[in-house]
Structure 1
Amino acid sequence: MKEPERPIFVVGCPRSGTTMLQLMLHAHPRIAIPPETRFLMAAYDARSDFGDLAQEANRLALARWIVDRKKTRFADLGLDGQQVVDEIVAGPPTLGSALGIVLRAYAARFGKPRWGDKRPGYFQRIPALLRMFPDAQVVQLIRDGRDCVASLKEMDWYKQDSLHALSTWVESTELGERAARTLGPDSYHRMYYERLISDPEKELSGLCTFLGEEFDPAMCEPGEVAAVAVPGRKTWHLRTHDEVTTARSGTWRTRLTAAEIALCETVAGDLLREHGYEVSGGTRLDRGDHGRYRRVAAHRRLAARKRDVLDLLRRRTEPSEVASRLC
């Protein structure tokens, strides 16, 4: 019996290059990674609301929740909604199976057998992803935290400040390290944005080895598939239509203020160095900024603990199995 295709999930700090990596994977002849969806974690957190999925009516309700709600971004996938609903209703009675059917249908749209998803925020929910897809392979992309902060603060949709942006980078990097220790080299693969844009063929060949796939040169030209795999409304991803370039790497030197550079290098200097990034050692961090950052980071840690505790409580009352049974 043939082993099922392992799902692929791309994670990382926002603005770390995960969309580019999504497109590189999507350019592979056997792999399809869709635009960011909004239903995996939402469905997982609301799983008790759907009841026992052994009942067909409950699977139908779940399917309609995925397909009909604008918040799920299902429309971006270009799929026949009724066909997906029918497949979920006829499919295995688990949450992971229902969600996997949608992602599998997206891959089938392109005639490809391997499927997955990309969303930077998944770095916070890797254990949940593995509950739903126990055989998943997780790929984390890391970029210089200073460049991530510089890019985030320039996004119209990002409503926080540099303190929050840096805290997000620190959290994503540290949680990735935890995943590496927990999952091992067969299920977790770390990549670096700077290496990827400098030598795409080498880095993508290593990624393909991890995935058990043959490298395809088309992966080095992600712009060729951007038109079909990145929604046009996401104007902040316009550069994904261009050739891979190193032009934006290291631009934090001119895009961050001296105070922001001091914040990044004082708070996250050890973490930056640990991942191969040199620290300039410039302006000294203002004590007030340090205190404000510590409060932001503490708030994020508290929110993460609350999320984990709530998930443990929800597990006690799960109405049905969550692990995918797709084959």
Structure 2
Amino acid sequence: MTLFTDLQATLALTQQERYKAALKSARAGMRRHKKHPDFPNFAAVALCSLGKKREAIPLYQKALALDPQFHKARRNLGMALVDIDQDEKAIKVLTKAVKNDPKDERSWMHLALAKRNLGDFEGAMEAVAKVLAISPQKEDALMLNADILDKADHISAALDAGRKALKIVPSNMVLLKLTAKLLSAQGMTDEALSLRHQAVALNPQRTDTLKALATQLLNLGRQEECRQVSLNVLKLDPTSFGSMEQLSLFQTKEQNAELRETLLSALAATKPQGPGRTSILFALAHIDRRAGETSSADGYYAQANRETALLTPYDGDQQALLTNNIISRYPGPMISESQTFPDPRPIYVVGLPRSGTTLTEVTLGAHPDVTPLGERKISKALATAFLNDLPLGPNELKELVDRQQENLPPLPADTRAYVDKMPENYRYIGVLKSAFGNARFINLRRDPRDVALSQWHGHFEKGAITYSYDLKAMAHQFNLYAEIMAHWHKVMPGEILDLSYEDLVSDIETSTKNIAEHCGLDWTPSMAQPHKHAGQVRTMSLHQVRQPVHSRSVRKWVKYEEMLAPFVAELDPNLWPEIR
């Protein structure tokens, strides 16, 4: 056979997607035409299509060795390297590819992917912009653009990109999900809900879109609608244990009794650390606790926490390092006389998770001049800066302010303040005060034993609060919290309002008057009726804050004193004098 016929035969098999035959033909061509680069390239393409991308890499390299100007082989090599997570090597290959052919959108696309994967978001945005300049309506590039902006924490820009892309490709499920998520994060719940319904209408059999819709409905307090959607999920996927766990928290006793039998059967069929097992255990614990079966519930909670702790171990050394670095590097706020601060001012509500931060945010949000914004995303970047000893001076603080302002959703014209209730911001009070000199800080103080119990009964988003599943780890983190709060009070006297959760729920009017005064607001009676003003709530408190304020959770720990003993024993009495 001639070179031409061998090439034609291999190409035809590749185009027909007969990849095993194409691989065999390409290898035969490599033996007959040892110096022709097309055959190792064809063989590599076939291997990639057969899922053997690592085996393809040497063949692409062979093709390039035979012809260093072989652009397709170079692009294909870069794409394969991205697919097997060798992003640094891919960037070197693809950078050369786009230099040789600046109009090759596939090379630009994979260069953007590689840079995104390595956290070079600016570089990734530049690369995907090249793709869109070549093909403005390219669906994959539109998705990737919004995704990169989201990962780079350009929330408003990502949302704008998602909305614009949906005008071009309105049926793209990835864009619908991402844009709905961003809308929800920005408090634009009506539009988010509309997109979630649109996604479900496009494909009613997709359980991921149904789950997202159910969660949105639950966050908005629409429990019965959430239940109906969740039941639909379970018809499509009887092993959706996360949906069962969600239902267990608000269904009636009778509805939960039926669900309990399903969960018991599922538990018997799963192995420790198996998929969904922790959701099964937490769901059983929730059902039994709400039914008054305390002993059974306690057993399930203990087992659920034990197994979750194995899956998401707590890194106490890293947490201690982070705390020590912050205290040593940040003796107090750094504010120059020339600094100006943007309005409206932020109010940061901080504290340990489950200490009353959501309730406090809702009381503030009931004020006509205050907009509650939930948990804003700033702490991750700050943690990275402190753990890696990155600069955090005037330029970085300005960037922090600019990013925060950029990501604010549209606020009502009369807004005087907005609330960020990310509990973990307690670590960064000094940084935030330096960046936003007009900010106000409210720190929730609650009996640590009640906080620990509430966390023990909770199943947080995967990886979010890893210490909550181990009593000694919990005490370790609580001590770090108390230590850094003592530091802030020492170097920033009078800047932080310590708000007692127990006082808040026993005398809501007096407590909210103190909150208003600290935040420079005129108190309004609406602040004392937070349950009438709860909008979207995206935390575990979504059920509680829609009830009138009560003190039923105060001193709940007393019934669990024996169980909590390992936690109490590890608390530092100098930091927690109330446990003495």
Q: Give the shorter-chain TM-score range.
A: 0.5 to 0.7
1:260 offset after TM fit, Å?
A: 2.0
- Which of 466, 470, 474 is the aligned partner of 1:165? 474
Equivalent residue for 1:124? 427
1:228-251 Cα deviation digits (max 9, x unpaired): 3x13xx455311111110001100
* Mapped partners of 2:428, 2:564: distance in 1: 28
Among 21, 24, 41, the residue aligned to 2:379: 41
Structure 1 residues 36 and 266: alpha-carbon distance in aligned structure 2, compared to 1, 3 A threshold: closer
Among 155, 169, 192, the alignment partner of 2:500 is 192
Q: Which residue of 1 aligns with 2:361?
A: 22
Deviation string, structure 1 residues 256-307 (Cα, Å, up to 9, x no partner): 351523641563344333xxx364xxxxxxxxxxxxxxxxxxxxxxxxxxxx
Match 2:485 to one of 170, 176, 183? 176
Q: How many angstroms apart in 2 are the aligned matches of 1:156 and 1:110?
A: 38
State the alpha-carbon separation in 2 of the partners of residues 272 and 116 from structure 1: 27
Taking the aligned partners of 1:4 and 1:112, their CA distance within structure 2 comes to 9
Q: What is the RMSD of the two structures over their aligned residues, measured on CA atoms?
A: 3.1
2:542 equivalent among 237, 260, 263: 237
Q: Is the 8 A contact 1:26 1:32 kept in 2?
A: yes
C-alpha distance in structure 1 between counterparts of 2:552 and 2:349, whole Å: 23
SS at 2:442's partner residue? strand
Provide the residue aligned with 1:100 in structure 2: 405
Query: Do the aligned residues in 1 keep the contact of 2:474 with 2:567 (CA within 8 Å)?
Result: no
SS at match of 2:544: helix
- Corresponding position of 2:516: 208
Unaligned 5+ runs, structure 2: 1-339
Aligned to 2:575: 271
Q: Which residue of 2 aligns with 1:309?
A: none
Within the alignment, does 1:11 sit opposite 2:350 as a pair? yes
Which letter does structure 2 place at the counterpart of 1:123?
Answer: Y
d(CA) in 1 for partners of 2:561, 2:383: 39
> 1:26 Cα deviation (Å)?
0.8
Instruction: Give the number of the structure with larger relative contact order, counting CA–CA contacts within 8 Å between residues 6 or more apart.
Output: 1
Q: 1:214/1:28 Cα in 2 relative to 1: closer, same or farther (>3 Å)?
A: same
| Partners of 1:146 and 1:261 within 8 A in 2 | no
Aligned length, in residue pairs: 227
Aligned to 2:562: 258
Distance in 2, matches of 1:102 and 1:184, equals: 30
Q: TM-score, normalised by structure 2?
A: 0.36
One-letter amino acid of the counterpart of residue 506, structure 2: S
Give the alignment's TM-score, normalised by structure 1.
0.61
Over 3 Å counting, the alpha-carbon distance change for 1:110 and 1:223 in structure 2 is farther
Which 4+ runs in 1 deviate beyond 6 A?
Answer: 46-49
Matching residue's letter, 2:449: R
CA distance in 1, matches of 2:477, 2:570: 16
Cα offset for 1:116? 3.3
Tell me which structure has the larger Cα radius of gyration: 2
Partners of 1:20 and 1:223 in 2: CA distance: 9
Question: Hey, which of these two has a bigger chunk of helix by percent?
Answer: 2
Larger mean CA deviation between 219-228 and 17-26 belongs to 219-228
Equivalent-residue separation in structure 2 for 1:197 and 1:98 (angstroms): 35
